């Protein structure tokens, strides 16, 4: 029985290491965009760390250490993303009119997450800097 527990712990650590690598690749991409920066919160919702990416004072999106990423879009865009299967409704707030979520579980999911971060970044970039700084 002890070996099963050890194996589970080892597998859990391997999964955590894999997730850290996936999130690091997303971070490298997003922080390569002009003006993008990050804000880290080690004690996010449910005790899970969260990293927010910003342009000015506006959030591009954020990703929890468990691979759950959230983005805010106008309702029509959010609804289109969900309908097209490119995002899901926020699990805790499914009736949110603006929040789209995305689950990163494997390397194949990284490009979809980066695409959503880029869509959000491009929308914010198109907003005049003065308006971005107000909130």
**How far is residue 57 from each of residues 32, 45, 70, 107, measured CA to CA in Å?**
17, 21, 17, 30
Instruction: Note the pLDDT tens digit of each residue in 26-82.
Output: 999 999 999 999 999 887 776 778 999 999 999 999 999 999 999 999 999 999 999
Domains and CATH numbers, the chain: 2-134 (3.90.1150.30)
Instruction: Note the pLDDT tens digit of each residue in 94-129.
Output: 999 999 999 999 999 999 999 999 999 999 999 876
Instruction: Note the pLDDT tens digit of each residue in 42-57.
Output: 877 767 789 999 999 9
User: pTM of the full predicted structure?
Assistant: 0.83
């Amino acid at each position: 029985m002890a070996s099963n527990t050890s194996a589970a712990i080892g597998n859990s650590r391997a999964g955590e290491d894999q997730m850290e690598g996936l999130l690091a690749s997303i971070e490298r991409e997003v922080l390569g965009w002009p003006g993008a920066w990050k804000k880290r919160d080690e004690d996010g919702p449910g005790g899970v760390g969260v990293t927010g990416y910003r342009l000015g004072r506006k959030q591009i999106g954020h990703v929890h250490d468990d691979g759950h990423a959230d983005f805010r879009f106008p309702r029509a865009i959010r609804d289109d993303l969900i309908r097209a299967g490119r995002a899901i409704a926020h699990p805790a707030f499914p009736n949110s009119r603006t929040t789209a979520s995305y689950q990163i579980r494997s390397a194949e999911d990284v490009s979809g997450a980066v695409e959503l971060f880029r869509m959000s970044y491009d929308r914010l970039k198109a907003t005049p800097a003065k308006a971005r700084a107000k909130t």
